[in-house]
Chains A and B, each alone.
Chain A
Amino acid sequence: MLKKTQKAVIGTLEWLEDRTGLWAMFGPVLTHLAPRDAKWWYVYGSATLMAFMIQVATGVALMFSYIPSGGQAYDSLKYIADVAPWGHLIRGMHYFGASAMILLIGIHMGQVFFHGSYKFPREMNWVTGIALLAFTIGLGFTGQTLRWDSNAVWSIVVAAEQAARVPFIGHWLAHFILAGDNINGATLGRFFTLHVFVLPALAIAGIGLHMVLVMRHGIAEMPDEAHPVIPETYREEYHARLEKTGVPFWLMAWRDSVFSLVVVLAVVFAAIYFNPPPVELPPDPSIIETDPIPDFYLRWYLAVLALAQSDMEDYIILGAPALIGILLFAIPFLSSSGHRAPSKRPWAIVSLLTAMLVVGAFWIEAEKGNWTPNFHPKPLTPELIGATEGPIWHGAQLFQEKGCINCHSLANNGGHRGPDLTYVGDRLHKDNLTIRINMGGVNMPAYAGSLTGDDLRDLISFLETRKKKQPALEGEAAKEEPAKKS
Chain B
Amino acid sequence: MSNDSSSCGGHGHSHGHEHTHPHSEGGCCGGHGHEHGHDHDHAHEGGCCGHDHGGHGQTKPLFDGPIFKNDFERREFLKTAIPGAIAGAALTIPIAGYMVLPSIEGNKHSWVSVGPVEKFVLGETVLVELTNPDDFSWAGVTSKVAAWVRYVAEGEFIAFSVNCSHLGCPVRWLPNAKLFMCPCHGGVYSNDGHVVAGPPPKSLNRYEVRIEGGQVQLKTQAIFLA
Q: Hey, which bits of chain A sit against chain B, CB under 8 A?
A: 17-18, 24-25, 27-28, 31-33, 69-72, 74, 121, 153-154, 157-158, 160-162, 164-165, 170-172, 174-176, 178-188, 212, 215-218, 234-236, 238-239, 242-243, 248, 282-292, 305-306, 309, 313, 371-373, 375, 401-403, 406-407, 415, 417, 440-446, 450
Closest B residue by C-beta to A217 = B54
Contact of A170 among B55, B58, B225 (CB under 8 A): B225
Question: Which of B71-79, B98-106, B115-123 lies at the interface with chain A?
Answer: B98-106
Q: Write out the residue numbers on chain B whose beta carbons fall within 8 Å of the beta carbon of A282.
A: 141
Q: Write out the residue numbers on chain B whose beta carbons fall within 8 Å of the beta carbon of A72.
A: 138, 140
Contact of A28 among B15, B100, B130, B174 (CB under 8 A): B15
Q: Hey, which bits of chain B sit against chain A, CB under 8 A?
A: 1, 4-5, 8-11, 13-16, 20, 22, 47, 50-56, 58, 100, 102-104, 106-107, 127, 129-130, 132, 135-146, 162-163, 166-172, 174, 176-179, 181-186, 188, 190, 196-199, 221-223, 225-226
Please give the distance in Å from B141's CB to the nearest CB on chain A. 4
* A402 and B176 form a contact (CB under 8 A): yes
* A186 and B102 form a contact (CB under 8 A): yes
* B102 and A179 form a contact (CB under 8 A): yes
22 A-B residue pairs with CB within 8 Å = A154-B170, A157-B168, A157-B223, A158-B167, A162-B167, A175-B103, A178-B103, A178-B223, A182-B145, A182-B222, A185-B135, A185-B137, A186-B102, A215-B51, A286-B144, A287-B146, A313-B199, A371-B186, A401-B176, A403-B179, A406-B174, A445-B188
Contact of A70 among B53, B140, B172, B196 (CB under 8 A): B140
* B197 and A157 form a contact (CB under 8 A): no
Closest A residue by C-beta to B106 = A181
* B225 and A288 form a contact (CB under 8 A): no
In the complex where A70-B136, A286-B145, A292-B169 touch, is A403 in contact with B222 (Cβ < 8 A)? no
* B1 and A25 form a contact (CB under 8 A): no
* B102 and A440 form a contact (CB under 8 A): no
Q: Which of A153, A157, A373, A402 has the most CB of B within 10 A?
A: A373
* A372 and B186 form a contact (CB under 8 A): yes
* B199 and A445 form a contact (CB under 8 A): no
* B55 and A158 form a contact (CB under 8 A): no
In the complex where A285-B146, A443-B186 touch, is A185 in contact with B138 (Cβ < 8 A)? yes
Please give the distance in Å from A171's CB to the nearest CB on chain B. 5
